[in-house]
Structure 1
Amino acid sequence: MQSNDGPAIDETSSSSSSSSSSSSSSFSSFSSSSVTVTITKLTTNKRKSMLTVNGYEFHFKDYNKAKTIKFLRCASRNCGILLHKSFSDEFVRFSGKMTDHSHLPNTAALGIRTLREKLRQRAEHERLPLQEIAEQEVRAGLLTGHNLLHNRRKLMPPLPQSCDFNIPDEYRKDYLNRDRLLLHDSYDPQFQLHESVYKRPEGRTLVWSSDVQLKLLFDSEKLYMDGTFCTAPPNFNQVYIIQVIHHETFKLYLFH
């Protein structure tokens, strides 16, 4: 969302600055009107400052004419998100009406940068052999399969005990929460088809795909289909997928 409480700012264009890198991470949260963001301070390979905002990397772009506000742009070249922040790293507002990124945040890259910065700091201040420092940090960062599964399950709703359950809204739309993702649910009245052209099967049928995926699916000259019974979730008999070749790689475009 966009806050309208920020100061009037003269925006100017400029070439963007610098490269990606290693990171130090100090976290702070700020709120401006209805916008709340979490800012993480990073350090690039060239030891210049860089920020992530709500998990998205931002690079410095320019100052306003009065040199009181910094303009930052999303590190992804194909994303047009810009924001304004103060010199004390307080979020001021987003620039323009667009506040949703065109991509997901790269949390893995942030973790790698954090690990690199820890290694750099320890190498500069400790006398231990470098290999031992690296092994200690890597071991500390690794999780067992059980711990990974436990962490994943804490973020997900519990497994249903039958096929009669409500599907949360976050599983009905895409990651931007704008376009549909759930195409059909035979238990949901809004998806009911006329019985003259469709005979409802026994049990529950769920179909997921985005509109972008469907377009690629319909435009594809070849389809690859596969069904499995052994990995179907509890209370369901089969998982069926349809794939197409996109950029010389198999992509899943319909999940049934």
Structure 2
Amino acid sequence: MEILQSNKGGSKLCYEGYIYTRHALRKTKQWWKCTLKSSLGCRGNLSTDLQHENPIPSQPHNHAPDDTSIQLAKVRSNMKQKALSTHNAPSQIFAECLSYTSHTVKAMLPAEDNCKRSIRRHRPILPSPSTLSELTIPSDFSTTVDEDPQPFLFYDNCTDSNSRVVAFATDDNLRLLAAADTIFMDGTFDTAPPLFKQIFTIRITCSNSHITVVYGLLLVL
């Protein structure tokens, strides 16, 4: 028997090839119903004590046990837990969780991009720093969100909070910048995030279009 955390923050109980969600809580017992009650009309249920032990099945299921679905639920639960407990990039969490997953379970997972979006949704919202010395940029916000993530945090003089400068650019964008014949620079003040005074951008002309290749957050004007 194993307890997993559901996407909605509740608990799922896995037992003998079936998955249950908690249905009712009494003084000394918890009642659990089959997760396929709505889709298959399954009335299978069981009870446990308050410590999630001593399972006692009450009603039989109308379908066969499915260990693969349990393994799938475990993988998705692990992704959520890693999203909550680490600052690893979604692509890294996805790869770690799939490293010990069977091909059958991998085939049942949503597309990789969907899994990574789910990981980002489960990330706790970082508290807003009150000073620049408190501002740290975790790895999840330092890379792009492509299938092959690239470094995006190009520069951060984090040791100098009196003149903090944070710049974002990919290696590909820097190569485009180095090859550009014409460069445009612009500073915006009204939309600068708290603690900074200016958003500074560098743009170039590429294939008859103007693209931004560097974003900077500046404290000094």
What is the TM-score when the length of structure 2 is the normalising length? 0.41
**Which has the larger helix fraction?**
2
What is the TM-score when the length of structure 1 is the normalising length? 0.36
